[in-house]
């Protein structure tokens, strides 16, 4: 322990004793690193350079530009250039620094003086897999004011997949938003087509006034078909929860004689072949306001439109004010959100796999109907096995986990263990299923 470390850890211990304890538990006795230097010095750990050796301050400015506003959550410390920059900015109001690579942090504390640790705007937060507030903290990654230090994210990939995949999801989300902006002219054309049609239809507020206690949210993942006999049994009960399905799940449901109580659709690129237009004349379709008119005009049952919370819907929401539903890329998000808005205190998730168990994409549909799926990543399921997935599906999972984190009083139940593990849920108690499905 050198004087530099003693100075830094004393400041941390005084303000954040639990964080200091977590850092001091880290073992760096066998940690190898290399000092590299050009115009500035940096460290290389496991082949990853922590910061720029050309202009680390300019690098910090680039990170800072990723956030609009005066509140910051920094994921990773690296050599501390970003918090040092922010503490010199009088307009910065809060500077949260989330630590997770504790061996790296401990090493850096031996080498770099962090006088800014006594700045009252700075808060250090330790996150680890058994942390009691893990779900809450992981939900913060999705916030617009989060900055992820690249080198720390890459170092976390080796032994912290529960964290690194959510960081990757955050970056993928930024990519998706950029691609949405590139389609703005297409969106505006659809809005111009839909505006007169939507004014003749009912907004989702009229649907949301109907209260419910328990809802079964059905996605089109492979676990739907895997558990279809159980769902059929539930469906046949005289008193049961509402079954609210994603449009893509309806083919499988119809094949097994199950008529959902409502159907959700948001994807403007959804093929008509995925939609069961003759499902039932009394089954409502709840659809995002930018759905192509050839989809919702053919629906035979009641129709309700809604705007999504995505910023690309701001213009349309101003033209036709209506309730906006949370989304993070998947139809599952607004479907869950609608159940919460109706007062549900228990939500069961079936077919919400966020991966491809047995390399199947959708229940009831051939993989040939969705040939662009890459299946180039892996994720842990409820059995402790790795199943194939991809970036977009992992992002969808992060969005659901964020919703769960924001509603800790709600009982979220994962029906199946063959799909991805969902933090914040418990698994269905099959031995007590009659109690589980009380409406």
pLDDT confidence of residue 335: 98
Q: Are strands 214-218 and 48-49 parallel, antiparallel or unpaired?
A: unpaired
Cα separation, 411 vs 425, in Å, equals 7
* Edge-to-edge strand list for the sheet holding 146-148: 122-126, 94-99, 71-75, 146-148
Do residues 123 and 99 touch, judged by C-beta distance below 8 A? no
Q: Does the pTM exceed 0.85?
A: no
Locate 191 and state its tokens.
Answer: 């809005």
**Closest by CA position to 74, among listed 26, 21, 157, 143:** 143
pLDDT tens, position by position, 207-222: 999 999 999 999 999 9
pLDDT band (50, 70, 90) for residue 164: confident
Do residues 46 and 155 touch, judged by C-beta distance below 8 A? yes
Q: Are strands 71-75 and 48-49 parallel, antiparallel or unpaired?
A: unpaired
Q: Are strands 285-288 and 262-265 parallel, antiparallel or unpaired?
A: parallel
Mean pLDDT, the chain, whole residue set: 90
Residue 162, pLDDT above cutoff 70: yes
Do residues 251 and 366 touch, judged by C-beta distance below 8 A? no
Do residues 322 and 305 touch, judged by C-beta distance below 8 A? yes
pLDDT tens, position by position, 48-80: 999 999 999 999 999 988 887 899 999 999 999
pLDDT confidence of residue 140: 76
Phi, psi of 195 (to 5 degrees): -60, -45
- Residue 109 vs residue 367, higher pLDDT: 109
* Tokens 């050198």 found at: 2
Mean pLDDT, residues 26-43: 92
How far is C-alpha 393 from the geometric centre of its chain's CA atoms?
A: 9
Quickly count: other Cβ atoms within 10 Å of residue 95's Cβ.
23
Locate 222 and state its tokens.
Answer: 């492979």
Phi, psi of 225 (to 5 degrees): -70, -35
pLDDT band (50, 70, 90) for residue 363: confident
Collapsed DSSP state (helix, strand, coil) of residue 325: strand
* Tokens 């032994």 found at: 159
Q: What's the full length of the chain, in residues? A: 439
Bridge partners, residue 380, by sequence: 386
Which residues have C-beta within 8 Å of that of residue 432, sequence separation ≥ 6?
none
Cα separation, 252 vs 184, in Å, equals 34
Bridge partners, residue 218, by sequence: 245, 350
């Amino acid at each position: 322990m050198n004087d530099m470390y003693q100075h830094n850890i004393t400041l941390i211990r005084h303000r954040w004793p639990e964080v200091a304890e977590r850092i001091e538990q880290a073992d760096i006795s066998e940690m190898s690193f290399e000092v590299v230097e050009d115009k500035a010095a940096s460290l290389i750990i496991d082949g990853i350079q922590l910061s720029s050796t050309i202009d680390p301050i300019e690098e910090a400015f680039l990170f800072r530009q990723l956030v609009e506003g005066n509140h910051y959550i920094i994921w990773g410390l690296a050599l501390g250039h970003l918090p040092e920059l922010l503490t010199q900015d009088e307009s910065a109001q809060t500077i949260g620094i989330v630590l997770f690579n504790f061996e790296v942090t401990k090493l850096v504390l031996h080498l770099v003086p962090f006088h800014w640790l006594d700045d009252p705007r700075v808060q250090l937060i330790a996150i680890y897999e058994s942390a009691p507030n893990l779900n809450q903290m992981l939900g913060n990654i999705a916030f617009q004011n989060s900055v992820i230090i690249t080198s720390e994210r890459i170092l976390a990939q080796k032994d912290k997949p529960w964290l690194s995949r959510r960081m990757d999801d955050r970056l993928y989300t930024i990519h998706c938003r950029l691609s949405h902006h590139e389609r703005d002219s297409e969106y505006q054309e659809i809005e111009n087509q839909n505006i007169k049609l939507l004014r003749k239809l009912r907004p989702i507020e009229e649907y949301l006034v109907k209260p419910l206690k328990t809802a079964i949210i059905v996605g089109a993942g492979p676990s739907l078909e895997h558990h279809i006999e159980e769902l059929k049994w539930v469906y046949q009960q005289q008193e049961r929860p509402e079954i609210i399905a994603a449009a893509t799940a309806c083919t499988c449901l119809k094949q097994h004689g199950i008529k959902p109580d409502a159907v959700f659709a948001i994807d403007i690129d959804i093929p008509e072949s995925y939609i069961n237009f003759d499902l039932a004349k009394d089954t409502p379709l709840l659809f995002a306001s930018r759905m192509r008119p050839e989809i919702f005009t053919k629906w035979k049952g009641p129709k309700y439109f809604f705007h999504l919370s995505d910023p690309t819907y701001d213009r349309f929401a101003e033209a036709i004010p209506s309730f906006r539903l949370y989304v993070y890329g998947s139809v599952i998000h607004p479907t869950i959100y609608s159940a919460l808005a109706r007062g549900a205190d228990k939500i069961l998730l079936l077919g919400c796999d966020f991966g491809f168990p047995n390399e199947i994409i959708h229940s009831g549909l051939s993989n040939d109907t969705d040939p662009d799926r890459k299946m180039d990543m892996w994720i842990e399921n409820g059995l402790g096995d790795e199943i194939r997935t991809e970036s977009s599906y992992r992002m969808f999972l992060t969005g659901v986990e964020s919703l769960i984190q924001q509603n800790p009083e709600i009982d979220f139940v994962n029906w199946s263990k063959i799909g991805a593990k969902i933090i914040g849920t418990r698994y269905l108690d099959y031995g007590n299923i009659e109690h589980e499905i009380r409406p």
